[in-house]
Amino acid sequence: MMLLRRVPRGHAAAGLVFVLLAIYPVFYPYATYYQTVLLQAFLLSLQAVSWNIVSGYAGYVSLGHSAYLGLGSYTTAILALHWGVNPLLVAPLGGVTAVVIALALGVIVLRTRGHAFVIITIALLLAMQIVATNWRSLTKGSDGITLELPTWSRDIQNVPFYYAFLLLLALTVLFSAWIRRTKFGAGLVAIREDEGKASAIGVNTTRYKVLAYVASTFFIGVAGGVYAYFLTFLNPVGAFSILASVMIVLAALAGGRGTLYGPAVGGFIVSIGGEVATVHGGSSSRVLIFGVALTLVVLFMPSGLLPTVEGWWRRRHAETTEYTDQAGALAAGAVTAPGRAAAPALAQALLEPTGVESAEPVLLDVRKVSKRFGGLVAVDGADLTVRRGSITALIGPNGSGKTTLFNLVTGAMRADSGEVWLDGRRIDTMAPWQRGHLGLARTFQTTRLFKSMTVQQNLVAPLPDSGWRRMLASAVSGSEADRARELLDFVGLGRFAHRPAGSLSYGQQKLVELAQVLMLEPRIVLLDEPAGGVNPSLVGRLGDIVRDLNRQGVTFLVVEHNIPMVLELCDPVVVFSRGSSIAEGPPDRIREDPLVLDAYLGDEWRPPGAEVAAGPDAVTGTSVEVTPGRSAAGPPAERGSS
Amino acid sequence: MTELLQALILGLLIGGVYALMASGLSLIFGVMNIINVAQGAFLILVAMFTWWLWKSTGVDPILASVVTTPLMFGFGWVLYRTVISRIRGSSTSMSVLLTFGLALTIEGALNVTAGNKFRSATPSYFEESYHLGSISLPKPQVYGFVAAVLVLSALYVVLAHTWAGRAIRASAQNPSGAALVGVGATSTAALAFALGTSTAGVGGSVLSVLYPFFPASHYDWISRLLGIIVLGGMGSLPGALAGALVLGLAETLTATYWSLRWSTLVFYLVILVVLLFRPQGIFGTRLREDVVA
Amino acid sequence: MALSSPSRSARGQSRRPDRRVGAFAARAVTTMAVAGLLLAGCAQDKPSSSGSGKGPITIGISLPLTGDFSQPGGEAKRGYEVWRDTVNSSGGLLGHQVKLKIVDDASSQDTVVSDYTKLITQDKVDLLLGTFSSLLNYPASAVAEKNGMAFVEPAGGAPDMFTRGFKYLFFAQPATAPHQADVFVDWVRSLPASQRPKTAAYPTQDDPFARPVIESMQQQLEALGVKTVYTSVYPADTTNFQTIASALKNKKPDIVAQGAVFEDGVGLVRSMKQLGFSPKVLFQTSAPSNAGQYSSGIGAANTEGVFYTVSWDQQAKTPQNPQFVAKYKSLFNGDDPAEDAADAFAAAQVLQTAAEKVGSFDQNKIRDYLHANAVTTILGPLKWDDKGQPQGQFILAQWQSGKVQVVAPASAATSQKVVYPKPGWH
For C256, list phi and psi in degrees, rounded to 5. -110, 115
Cβ atoms of A278 and C106 within 8 Å: the answer is yes
What does the pLDDT look like over A322-366, one tens digit per residue? 443 333 334 433 333 333 333 344 444 444 444 444 446 888 888
Subunits next to A (3 or more Cβ pairs <8 Å) are B, C
Query: Distance (Å, rounded) from C-alpha A402 to C-alpha A396?
Result: 8
For A421, list phi and psi in degrees, rounded to 5. -120, 140
Q: How buried is B187 (Cβ within 10 angstroms: 0-12 exposed, 13-18 middle, 19+ buried)?
A: middle
pLDDT of A67 reads 94
pLDDT of B53 reads 93
Pairing outcome for strands C199-205 and C255-258? parallel
The answer for residues whose C-beta is within 8 angstroms of residue C362's C-beta and 6 or more apart is none
The answer for residues whose C-beta is within 8 angstroms of residue B135's C-beta and 6 or more apart is B2, B5, B6, B9
Give yes or no for residue A560 having a pLDDT over 80: yes
* Residue whose C-alpha is closest to residue A527's, from A558, A550, A498: A558
Chains A, B: CB pairs < 8 Å? 200
Chain-chain contact of C3 with A457 (C-beta, under 8 angstroms): no
Cβ atoms of C117 and A231 within 8 Å: the answer is no
How is residue A371 annotated by DSSP? E
Average pLDDT of span A406-427: 87
Note the Cα A138 to chain centre separation in Å. 39
Shortest CB distance from B98 goes to which of A59, A295, A613?
Answer: A295
The domains of chain A, with CATH numbers, are 28-249 (no CATH), 361-439+522-641 (3.40.50.300)
Tell me which chain B residue has its CA closest to the CA of residue A373. B291
Query: Distance (Å, rounded) from C-alpha C214 to C-alpha C223?
Result: 14
Average pLDDT of span B33-47: 92
Summary count for chain B: helices (H), strands (E) = 12, 2
Which of C240, C263, C264, C270 to mutate: most B Cβ within 10 Å?
A: C240
Pairing outcome for strands C57-63 and C127-128? parallel
Average pLDDT of span A421-432: 88
Average pLDDT of span A18-39: 88
CB atoms closer than 10 angstroms to residue A614: 12
Query: Distance (Å, rounded) from C-alpha A418 to C-alpha A407?
Result: 14
Query: Distance (Å, rounded) from C-alpha A295 to C-alpha A290?
Result: 9
Chain-chain contact of B10 with C243 (C-beta, under 8 angstroms): yes
Label residue B175 by pLDDT band (50, 70, 90).
Answer: low
More confident residue, B74 or A578: B74
Instruction: Sketch the domain layout of chain C as residue ranges.
Output: 57-173+317-382, 181-310+395-412
More confident residue, C381 or A635: C381
Q: What CA–CA distances, in Å, run from A642 to A17, A533, C265?
A: 63, 14, 76
Q: How buried is A578 (Cβ within 10 angstroms: 0-12 exposed, 13-18 middle, 19+ buried)?
A: middle
Q: Measured between alpha carbons, how far apart are the two ends of chain B, in Å?
A: 52
Query: Distance (Å, rounded) from C-alpha A552 to C-alpha B47?
Result: 71
Give the 3-state secondary structure of C275-289. Answer: HCCCCCEEEECCHHH
pLDDT of A282 reads 54
Tell me which chain C residue has its CA closest to the CA of residue B254. C243
ipTM: 0.87
Cβ atoms of C47 and A265 within 8 Å: the answer is no
Average pLDDT of span B181-210: 85
Label residue A593 by pLDDT band (50, 70, 90).
Answer: confident
Question: What DSSP string runs through A602-614?
Answer: STT---TTGGGTT
Cβ atoms of C404 and C397 within 8 Å: the answer is yes
Query: pLDDT in tens for each of the 426 residues of chain C?
Result: 333 333 333 333 333 334 444 455 555 555 555 555 444 444 444 334 444 457 899 999 999 887 777 778 888 999 999 999 999 999 899 999 999 999 888 778 888 888 898 899 888 999 999 998 878 898 899 999 988 999 999 988 877 888 888 999 999 999 888 899 999 999 999 999 889 999 999 999 888 788 889 999 999 999 999 999 999 888 776 767 877 898 899 999 999 999 998 778 988 998 898 888 999 999 999 888 876 778 887 888 899 999 999 888 888 778 889 999 999 999 998 888 888 899 999 999 999 999 999 999 999 999 999 999 999 999 888 999 988 899 888 989 999 998 888 898 887 788 889 998 999 988
Shortest CB distance from B7 goes to which of C243, C267, C274?
Answer: C243
Å between A340 CA and nearest CA of chain B? 33
More confident residue, B270 or A19: A19
Angle at which helices A32-52 and A218-231 cross, to 10° = 160
pLDDT of A281 reads 57
Average pLDDT of span A200-211: 91
Give yes or no for residue A613 having a pLDDT over 50: no
| Chain A residues close to B223, C-beta within 8 Å | 119, 122-123, 126
* Residue whose C-alpha is closest to residue A347's, from A457, A556, A467, A490: A490
Subunits next to C (3 or more Cβ pairs <8 Å) are A, B
Shortest CB distance from C164 goes to which of A10, A146, A324?
Answer: A146
Å between A23 CA and nearest CA of chain C? 10
What does the pLDDT look like over A216-244, one tens digit per residue? 999 999 999 999 999 888 888 888 888 88
pLDDT of B18 reads 92
Q: What CA–CA distances, in Å, run from A531 to A450, A511, A566, A575?
A: 20, 10, 10, 18
CB atoms closer than 10 angstroms to residue A327: 8
Class of domain C57-173+317-382: alpha beta
More confident residue, A125 or C45: A125
Where on the phi/psi map is residue C8: left (φ > 0), alpha (ψ -120 to 50), or beta? beta
Instruction: Sketch the domain layout of chain B as residue ranges.
Output: 2-215
* Residue whose C-alpha is closest to residue B36's, from B271, B269, B200, B246: B200
Shortest CB distance from C274 goes to which of B138, B212, B260?
Answer: B138
Beta bridge partners of C397: C308, C406
More confident residue, C240 or A56: A56
CB atoms closer than 10 angstroms to residue A362: 15
Q: Which helix (H) or strand (E) holds A516?
A: helix A506-518
Chain-chain contact of B116 with C66 (C-beta, under 8 angstroms): yes
Q: How buried is B12 (Cβ within 10 angstroms: 0-12 exposed, 13-18 middle, 19+ buried)?
A: middle
Cβ atoms of B219 and A126 within 8 Å: the answer is yes
* Residue whose C-alpha is closest to residue A515's, from A454, A456, A580, A433: A456
Give yes or no for residue A308 having a pLDDT over 90: no
* Residue whose C-alpha is closest to residue C6's, from A177, A260, A214, A463: A260
Chain-chain contact of B127 with C239 (C-beta, under 8 angstroms): no
Subunits next to B (3 or more Cβ pairs <8 Å) are A, C
pLDDT of A243 reads 80
Q: What CA–CA distances, in Å, run from C302 to C296, C297, C305, C341?
A: 10, 10, 8, 27
Chain-chain contact of C234 with B7 (C-beta, under 8 angstroms): no
Q: Which CATH number fits domain C181-310+395-412: 3.40.980.10, 3.40.50.2300, 2.60.15.10, 3.40.50.1100?
A: 3.40.50.2300
Give the 3-state secondary structure of A158-224. Answer: CHHHHHHHHHHHHHHHHHHHHHHHEHHHHHHHHHHHCHHHHHHCCCCHHHHHHHHHHHCCHHHHHHH
Query: Distance (Å, rounded) from C-alpha A348 to C-alpha A345?
Result: 5
| Chain C residues close to B261, C-beta within 8 Å | 206, 233-235
Lowest mean pLDDT among A110-119, A486-495, C412-421: A110-119
pLDDT of C281 reads 95
Query: Distance (Å, rounded) from C-alpha A345 to C-alpha A333?
Result: 20
pLDDT of B176 reads 66
Chain-chain contact of B256 with C243 (C-beta, under 8 angstroms): yes
Q: How buried is A1 (Cβ within 10 angstroms: 0-12 exposed, 13-18 middle, 19+ buried)?
A: exposed
Cβ atoms of C338 and C323 within 8 Å: the answer is no
The answer for residues whose C-beta is within 8 angstroms of residue B169's C-beta and 6 or more apart is A620, B159
Chain-chain contact of C263 with B212 (C-beta, under 8 angstroms): yes
B41 at A interface, C-beta within 8 A: no
* Residue whose C-alpha is closest to residue A231's, from B148, C143, C222, C98: C143
Cβ atoms of A31 and A194 within 8 Å: the answer is no
Chain-chain contact of C274 with B259 (C-beta, under 8 angstroms): no
Peptide bond into C409 cis (omega under 30): yes
